[in-house]
Amino acid sequence: MKDEQEKRQAILESLARCDTSTLVRLQALLTGAGDNPSDSGKGYLDYLQAVAESDVAGLQCSEKSYGDSWKRRGGVDTFHMLARKWSRLERRLATDMDAAGSMSGAAPYDIFEQIAADRRAEGIIDDVRDLRRYLLLVEAEAAAREAERLADSGRKYLNHLQIVAKRDVRTIREKEKSHGNSWKRSGGVGAFMMFARKWDRIVQRVAMRIEGTNGTPAAASDNIFEHVASDRRAEGIIDDVRDLRRYLMLVEAEMAARGAVEVGSARDNREGS
């Protein structure tokens, strides 16, 4: 009994140290809905390749119009771009969406319900895609810099987009063999909590300033490119970037399998027609 009380007290003390955002997410998880009858089971696996291809095609198309503007102001601005997109996504998911007409409602932070209920021209699914594609750009740029030994790859990151996307699909399929669909077993709120923890981990890591050593370059606070290059841990920041991007791939694949979204943005689909 004493051990249980001590464990309970330790948990409560840990919760007391959490920031408000984390506590709100936790409340949503505790009060979230149960199993969703529209769950695709393994059906999302059939859409992974289409999601990956839409990301590569969408970024290649955007490059023709905007060039490399996404990284032109350096790694700090690129990270802030990611942060703004995450903040927009979380802010949208935090709202309670009431049922209207034939549309069902959506509980706060239930990413599946929120996407299904959102019928705006630029809805939550667009924020999911944008964040995922920014994360794809980050890894493609980091890979190009490493391969070419460049401080900035110019347009060479485009050569790595498809390589990274294919690896994402392959890795997700391999993990499904051992873990199944555990990523969505706790519903849309549970899935979002996983993503949020991954994002929080990226923020905490990138916020630190790293002093350079003989074998490791320095990294300024919030400079995501410098942090990826200097991180020599077994599971570094690039692994967090990959994990978050793959979770976001799973979200769109799941919603496509449920028939709630068409893979690719409206712009992608118009230009591909």
Q: What are the extents of the domains in the chain?
A: 32-272
- pLDDT given at position 214: 78
Whole-angstrom distance, CA of residue 189 vs CA of residue 110: 4
- pLDDT given at position 213: 81
Non-local (6+) Cβ contacts of 1 within 8 A are none
- pLDDT given at position 188: 94
What is the pTM for the complete model shown? 0.84
Amino acid sitting at position 98: D
- pLDDT given at position 65: 92
- pLDDT given at position 169: 98
**Cβ pair 29, 109 in contact under 8 A:** yes
Q: Which H or E run contains 113?
A: helix 111-117
- Regions of the chain short of the pLDDT cut 70: 1-2, 11-13, 15, 18-37, 98-104, 265-273
- pLDDT given at position 36: 56
Specify burial of residue 12 (Cβ count, 10 A radius: 0-12, 13-18, 19+): exposed
Whole-angstrom distance, CA of residue 124 vs CA of residue 103: 16
Closest CA to 210 of 222, 196, 197, 194: 222
- pLDDT given at position 9: 73
- pLDDT given at position 85: 97
- pLDDT given at position 15: 66
